[in-house]
């Protein structure tokens, strides 16, 4: 043959091959079953193929969604035209994930000229077909056997160009032989060389036979051979939500029905991983369609869905109740066996032992329940369940049908717990009369003793689980309660449940938690702390639960904008009075979204520390506070860079008659003295209800304090607590503060000037003012204010002058030593001293003070807590400290942490529960 003739005849055979593949598809029978799925060939030919998703090949910074690609693209990329040394491409996915269907689509696209045209020849085999090819033959013979349209001559031509060949092998998980690398004994490089079929396949896959030919295999991920097979893996993710939507739209011809079905599935089942299985989507759509056509309602739980599926299958068999019950019980025995055996399969003999022989004579009746591989009457035939879910469901049903007394629910779960994920879920669901009723009409009544057994087991285990701190266990029982769909049961159990942190829930658990809370009708604290991935979907599912909660904790969380919109909606329509949003990256844009809910809700306490807010958020905040509808009393904005412009804006709100703020936490907001004028004006306006103001760790300076003291002396200022910790203050501000303290109008009961360089001069001015009779100050903090013994002396005088109301005094980190402290001991021993809390951490106190200290503590009629942390006390002081603390009538806690104690005295200190060390 000259080369032109050879090219022509090659082309003719090539076209013939494509046509034969297409024709063969048309002739194949429709093998669709409810649980086994739709016939892949038919589905692809009908144009119903939905793109399957796989993970992208390149790992980038992009979100997971953006990093996905379709299975088709992944395969095309893995089979390029120029391949050096082709490795097998392995498409991996769990049962029903669309592997066979993807191959059918690939063949159709190739045969119709859409893709992979660099391959002139595509040959497909199933591993189950290869299993039964016994004896010895050459690859050429094997191909002739399966492709009858090819003649030996034309095939010889085809095999001359291995680069143009693509071999597809479906279902490695079913292969009974190995695919090990060929050894010198099993090497086969000639397509005409007769060898055992497993040897041919191994050589083909490893590239020793027809070097350069491409191979593509499909396999479930659980196949052991997969581990050792070196190839390019394409992992199927199945149908994510968008593909499910497409699938429902293609399944239902009526878009309204498609939408109704899709919404129902997403709401009631979409959170189960099984929904990513195209096969499960097919089954669900099929059942939904038949329910819709019969005018029945759609399932609300997984149990209800499987009740409908099983009911549908039993009805199709037209069995009477007794036979149907028999079938279910026998299938139950088979299910248990399959679950416990390593192969999940049964032989004909085993089927007989389960009592299924009567149903084997008409195998079509079992086809919908089981996957039957071979002729049922033959010894080689194997039977398995189409899906693991059905296998578990039938185990649960048969438990309730069983009349024997041998097994209880605990035994059943213990036996199958390791291999059945949903068994307890189905058992709980099926114990509910409303859920099991449709099946009872086909199978007869459930064994009542089994229901009593289940209920008592469920009651006791739920109580324990909900009382425990084990989050996963707690959530699992919420899932079971959700499956029961029994509101009373939920209420009875949740009343005594321990409040745990529900942060970081999956979508499924959001549904479940929401169900639980809505059953309770009101909820005290919804603790979602550390919800690091609160998506729009999750937040939307939680809206009803959030609305019913008095307190919501979303501290240390991160949300999408959509999630914040849902939170705002929940606040608007709900009863929440406290919201904690501490430590998240909400920023001004996020806060703006939140404000759409804050303006019109019941929130009284709002915690927003460390939320990356700036002065830009203050306009929104002011609008909320002055809206006339805000109930906000407490606002925490600590550690947000609001800066002076922010506080100036915020002050507008404080001066508004509508603003009800009583407590404002503004630590670390980067304020200087520049904003204090506006704040002072607001505080003196007569409108401000602010009682507590914390400005710690800003740079207000003496200049800023001058403005604040003006407000403190104003009759309209309501401030009772002022915290100016670490604000670059010096003695220069103390005259003003003293004047304020002396003013008749000053209402301060708490003043914190710690970590400012007041020194002796400043402190003495303050103490002078405080010695005014009847002064209301009860709590004073002068930690690390450069105080000296003289100041302590004056403090001692103040405490025992009979007019001071000081109850709490913090003087730590002033290096006054025993000399300074002795004035406090004298004062404490005086009956006129009302001090309840004294903190003298790190003042260089030594054992020399212990005598005076003990006398003072014994004599004091008021001291409740004494903090002596970080001093220089040694073991020598311990016996006296323990004795005096034990004997004191008033003392509740003596803090001795970080002194110079040895382990020798730990036991002694342990004798007194009031001592902390």
Q: Residue 63: which residues within 8 A CB-CB, separation 6 or more?
A: none
| C-alpha distance from residue 495 to each of 462, 479, 511 (Å) | 12, 16, 19
Provide the 3-class DSSP secondary structure of residue 161. Answer: coil
> Shortest gap between Cβ of 173 and ligand ATP (angstroms)?
6
Indicate the residue among 393 and 825 with the shorter CB distance to ligand ATP: 393
- Scanning 559-671, the segments in alpha helix (DSSP H) are 561-573, 587-598, 618-625, 643-654
- Examine residue 597 and tell whether it contacts ligand ATP (CB under 6 A): no
CB of 94 to ligand ATP, least distance (A): 7
Q: Tell which one of 50, 122, 729, 758 touches ligand ATP (CB under 6 A).
A: 50
Q: Smallest gap, in angstroms, from Cβ of residue 344 to ligand ATP? A: 11
Tell me if 40 contacts ligand ATP by CB under 6 A: yes
DSSP secondary structure of 803-819: -----EEE-TT---HHH
Which range in 40-48, 317-325, 528-536, 885-893 contacts ligand ATP by CB under 6 A? Answer: 40-48
Stretch of residues binding ligand ATP (CB under 6 A), selected from 35-43, 357-365, 408-416, 726-734: 35-43
Closest distance of CB 199 from ligand ATP, Å: 25
Cβ-Cβ contacts under 8 Å for 734 (sequence gap 6 or more): 758, 761, 762, 763, 765, 766
Spatial separation of the C-alpha atoms in residues 276 and 97, rounded to whole Å? 8
Minimum CB distance to ligand ATP, residue 279 (Å): 4
Residue 49 contacts ligand ATP per CB under 6 A: yes
Provide the minimum distance between the beta carbon of 100 and ligand ATP in the complex, in angstroms, as a whole number: 3
234 binds ligand ATP (CB under 6 A): no
Q: Which is nearer to ligand ATP, 50 or 668 (CB)?
A: 50
Rounded to an integer, what distance in angstroms lies between the CA atom of residue 422 and that of residue 432?
A: 16
Does 97 contact ligand ATP by CB under 6 A?
yes
- Nearest-approach distance from CB 423 to ligand ATP, in angstroms: 22
Binding mask 264-283 for ligand ATP (x = CB under 6 A): --------------xx--x-
Chain Cα centroid distance, residue 165? 47
846 burial level (CB within 10 Å; 0-12, 13-18, 19+): middle
Which tokens in the block code for residue 518?
């809505």
Task: Report in angstroms how near the CB of residue 265 gets to ligand ATP at its nearest.
Answer: 15
Report CA 740 to chain centroid distance, whole Å: 53
Residue 168 CB, nearest approach to ligand ATP (Å): 12
For residue 91, the minimal CB distance to ligand ATP (Å) is: 9
- The smaller minimum CB distance to ligand ATP, of residues 248 and 792, is found at 248
* Selected binder of ligand ATP within 21, 79, 95, 816 (CB under 6 A): 95
Task: State the minimum distance, in angstroms, from the CB of residue 50 to ligand ATP.
Answer: 4
- Closest by alpha carbon to 601, among 565, 627, 578, 575? 575
CB 101 within 8 A of CB 43: yes
Q: CB 281 → ligand ATP: shortest distance, Å?
A: 7
**Binding flag, residue 284, ligand ATP (CB under 6 A):** no
- What tokens were used for 251? 């399944």
Query: Within a 10 A sphere around the Cβ of 290, how many other Cβ atoms?
Result: 14
Pairing relationship of beta strands 663-665 and 634-636 according to DSSP bridges: parallel
- Kindly tell me which residue out of 21, 35, 38, 675 binds ligand ATP, with binding defined by CB under 6 A: 38
Kindly state the smallest distance separating residue 284's Cβ from ligand ATP, in Å: 11
Question: According to the binding rule CB under 6 A, does residue 96 interact with ligand ATP?
Answer: yes
- Residue 98 in contact with ligand ATP, rule: CB under 6 A: yes
- Residues 135-174 binding ligand ATP (CB under 6 A) are 171
Burial classification of residue 903, based on how many CB atoms lie within 10 Å of its CB (0-12 exposed, 13-18 middle, 19 or more buried): exposed
* Shortest-Cβ-distance residue relative to ligand ATP: 37
- Indicate whether 100 belongs to the interface with ligand ATP (CB under 6 A): yes
Q: Measured from the CB atom, is 171 or 609 closer to ligand ATP?
A: 171
Among 99, 333, 592, 793, which residue interacts with ligand ATP (rule: CB under 6 A)? 99
Is residue 653 a contact partner of residue 627, using CB atoms and an 8 Å limit? no
Greatest Cα pair distance, the chain, in angstroms, is 126
Contact call for residue 231 and ligand ATP (CB under 6 A): no
Rg (CA), the chain: 39
Residues for the chain: how many in total? 917
Q: Could you tell me how many residues of this chain bind ligand ATP (CB under 6 A)? A: 22
* Element of type H or E holding 45: helix 40-45
Contact between 251 and ligand ATP per CB under 6 A: no
The residue (of 272 and 898) whose beta carbon lies closer to ligand ATP is: 272
- Exactly one of 35, 41, 88, 93 binds ligand ATP (CB under 6 A); that residue is 93
Task: Quote the tokens at residue 105.
Answer: 């689509």
For position 576 contacting ligand ATP by CB under 6 A, the verdict is: no
How far apart are CB 174 and ligand ATP at their closest, in Å? 8
Is residue 725 within 8 A of residue 753, CB to CB? The reply is yes
For the bound state, the minimum distance from the C-beta of residue 247 to ligand ATP, rounded and expressed in Å, comes to: 6
Cβ nearer to ligand ATP, comparing 219 with 304: 219
Closest CA to 49 of 259, 276, 251: 251
124 sits near ligand ATP (criterion: CB under 6 A): no
Residue number, 49 or 385, with CB nearest to ligand ATP: 49
Tell me the closest approach of the beta carbon of residue 266 to ligand ATP, in angstroms. Answer: 17
Nearest partner of 814 among 824, 826, 829, 827, judged by Cα: 824
| Residue of the chain from 72, 101, 854, 885 that contacts ligand ATP (CB under 6 A) | 101
Binding region for ligand ATP (CB under 6 A) out of 90-98, 113-121, 484-492, 888-896: 90-98
Could you give the CA distance from residue 408 to residue 458 in angstroms, rounded to a whole number? 12
Cβ proximity to ligand ATP: between 96 and 191 the closer is 96
37 contacts ligand ATP (rule: CB under 6 A): yes
Rounded to a whole number of angstroms, the minimum distance from the CB of residue 71 to ligand ATP is 8
Q: Please, which residue, 288 or 400, has the CB nearer to ligand ATP?
A: 288
- Nearest to ligand ATP of 97, 477 (CB atom): 97
Contact between 252 and ligand ATP by CB under 6 A: the answer reads no
Q: Which runs of consecutive H residues, i.e. helices, occur in 817-905?
A: 817-828, 850-859, 878-887
Site map (CB under 6 A) of ligand ATP, residues 185-224, x = contact: -----------------------------------x----
Query: Closer CB to ligand ATP, residue 93 or residue 555?
Result: 93
**Binding flag, residue 130, ligand ATP (CB under 6 A):** no
Q: Specify whether the CB–CB gap between 225 and 92 falls below 8 A.
A: no
- Following DSSP, what letter does each residue of 644-705 receive, concatenated? HHHHHHHHHHHTSTT----EEE-TTS--BGGGHHHHHHHHTSS-----EEE-TTSB-HHHHH
Residues 6+ apart with CB under 8 A from 665: 609, 634, 635, 636, 637, 638, 694
370 lies in the binding site for ligand ATP (CB under 6 A): no
3-state secondary structure of 549: strand
Structure tokens at 481: 């309660």
- What is the per-residue burial (b if ≥16 Cβ within 10 Å, else e) of 664-700? bbbbbbbbbbbbbbbbbbbbbbebbebbbbbbbbbeb
Q: Minimum distance from CB of 127 to ligand ATP (Å)? A: 10
Near ligand ATP by CB under 6 A, which window of 94-102, 146-154, 196-204, 686-694? 94-102
Residue 651, both tokens: 């002050």
Q: Which residues bind ligand ATP (CB under 6 A)?
A: 37-38, 40, 43, 48-50, 52, 93, 95-101, 171, 220, 247, 278-279, 282
């Amino acid at each position: 043959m000259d080369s032109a003739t050879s090219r022509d005849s090659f082309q003719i055979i090539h076209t013939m091959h494509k046509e034969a593949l297409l024709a063969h598809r048309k002739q194949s029978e429709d093998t669709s079953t409810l649980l086994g799925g739709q016939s892949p060939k038919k589905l692809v030919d009908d144009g119903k193929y939905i793109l399957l998703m796989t993970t992208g090949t390149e790992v980038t910074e992009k979100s997971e969604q953006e990093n996905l690609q379709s299975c088709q693209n992944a395969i095309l990329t893995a089979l390029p035209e120029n391949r050096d040394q082709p490795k097998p491409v392995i498409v991996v996915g769990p049962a029903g994930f669309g592997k066979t269907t993807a191959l059918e689509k690939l063949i159709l696209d190739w045969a119709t000229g859409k893709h992979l045209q660099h391959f002139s020849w595509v040959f497909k085999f199933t591993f189950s077909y290869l299993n039964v090819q016994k004896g010895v033959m050459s690859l050429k013979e094997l191909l002739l056997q399966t492709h009858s349209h090819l003649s030996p001559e034309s095939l010889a031509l085809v095999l001359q160009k291995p680069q143009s060949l693509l071999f597809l092998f479906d279902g490695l998980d079913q292969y009974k032989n190995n695919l090990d690398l060929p050894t010198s004994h099993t090497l086969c490089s000639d397509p005409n060389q007769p060898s055992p079929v497993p040897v041919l396949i191994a050589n083909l896959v490893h590239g020793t036979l027809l070097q350069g030919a491409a191979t593509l295999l499909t396999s479930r991920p659980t196949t052991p051979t997969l581990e050792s097979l070196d190839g390019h893996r394409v992992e199927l993710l199945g149908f994510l939500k968008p593909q499910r939507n497409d699938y429902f739209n293609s399944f239902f011809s009526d878009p309204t029905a498609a939408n109704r079905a899709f919404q129902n599935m997403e709401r009631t089942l979409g959170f189960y991983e099984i929904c990513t299985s195209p096969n499960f989507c097919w089954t669900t759509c099929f059942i939904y369609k038949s329910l819709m056509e019969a005018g029945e309602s759609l399932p609300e739980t997984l149990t209800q869905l499987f009740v409908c599926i099983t009911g549908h299958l039993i009805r199709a068999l037209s069995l009477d109740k007794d036979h149907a019950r028999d079938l279910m019980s026998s299938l139950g025995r088979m299910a248990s066996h399959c679950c416990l055996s390593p192969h999940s399969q049964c032989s004909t003999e085993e089927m007989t032992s389960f009592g299924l022989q009567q149903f084997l004579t008409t195998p079509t009746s079992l086809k919908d329940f089981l996957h039957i591989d071979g002729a049922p009457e033959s010894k080689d035939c194997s039977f398995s369940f189409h899906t693991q879910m059905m296998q578990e469901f039938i185990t649960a049903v048969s438990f309730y049908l069983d009349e024997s007394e041998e097994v209880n629910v605990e035994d059943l779960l213990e036996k199958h717990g390791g291999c059945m994920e949903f068994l307890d879920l189905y058992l709980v669901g099926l114990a509910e009369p409303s859920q099991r009723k449709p099946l009872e009409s086909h199978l007869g009544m459930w064994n009542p003793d089994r229901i009593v057994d289940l209920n008592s087991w469920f009651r006791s285990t739920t109580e324990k689980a909900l009382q425990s701190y084990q989050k996963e266990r707690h959530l699992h029982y919420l899932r079971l309660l959700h499956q029961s769909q029994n509101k009373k049961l939920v209420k009875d159990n949740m009343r005594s449940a321990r409040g745990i942190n529900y942060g970081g829930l999956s979508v499924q658990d959001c549904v479940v938690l929401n169900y639980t809370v809505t059953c309770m009708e009101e909820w005290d604290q919804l603790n979602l702390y550390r919800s690091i991935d609160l998506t729009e979907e999750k937040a939307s599912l939680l809206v009803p639960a959030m609305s019913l909660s008095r307190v919501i904790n979303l501290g240390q969380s991160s949300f999408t904008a959509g999630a914040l919109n849902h939170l705002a909606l929940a606040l608007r329509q709900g009863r929440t009075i406290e919201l904690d949003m501490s430590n998240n990256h909400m920023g001004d844009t996020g806060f703006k979204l939140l404000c759409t809910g804050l303006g019109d809700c019941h929130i009284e306490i709002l915690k927003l520390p460390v939320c990356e807010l700036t002065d830009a958020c203050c306009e929104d905040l002011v609008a909320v506070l002055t809206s006339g509808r805000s109930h906000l009393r407490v606002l925490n904005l600590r550690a947000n860079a609001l800066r002076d412009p922010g506080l100036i804006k915020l002050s507008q709100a404080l001066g508004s008659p509508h603003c009800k703020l009583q407590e404002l936490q503004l630590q670390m907001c980067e304020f200087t003295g520049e904003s204090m004028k506006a704040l002072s004006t607001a505080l003196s306006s007569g409108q401000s209800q602010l009682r507590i103001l914390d400005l710690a760790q800003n740079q207000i300076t003496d200049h800023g304090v001058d403005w604040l003291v003006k407000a403190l002396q104003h009759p309209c200022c309501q401030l009772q607590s002022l915290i100016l910790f670490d604000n670059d203050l010096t003695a220069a501000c103390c005259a003003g503060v003293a004047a304020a303290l002396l003013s008749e109008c000053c209402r301060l009961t708490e003043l914190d000037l710690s970590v400012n360089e007041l020194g002796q001069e400043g402190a003495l001015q303050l103490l002078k003012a405080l010695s005014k009779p009847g002064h209301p100050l009860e709590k004073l903090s002068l930690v690390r204010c450069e105080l000296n013994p003289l100041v302590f002396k004056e403090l001692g005088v103040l405490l025992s002058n009979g007019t001071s109301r000081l109850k709490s005094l913090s003087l730590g980190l002033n290096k006054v030593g025993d000399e300074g402290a002795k004035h406090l001991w004298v004062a404490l021993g005086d009956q006129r001293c009302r001090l309840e809390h004294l903190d003298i951490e790190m003042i260089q106190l030594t054992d020399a003070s212990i005598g005076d200290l003990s006398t003072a503590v014994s004599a004091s009629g008021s001291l409740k807590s004494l903090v002596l942390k970080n001093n220089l006390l040694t073991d020598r002081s311990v016996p006296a400290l323990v004795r005096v603390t034990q004997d004191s009538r008033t003392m509740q806690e003596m803090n001795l942490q970080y002194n110079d104690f040895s382990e020798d005295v730990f036991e002694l200190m342990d004798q007194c529960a009031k001592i902390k060390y």
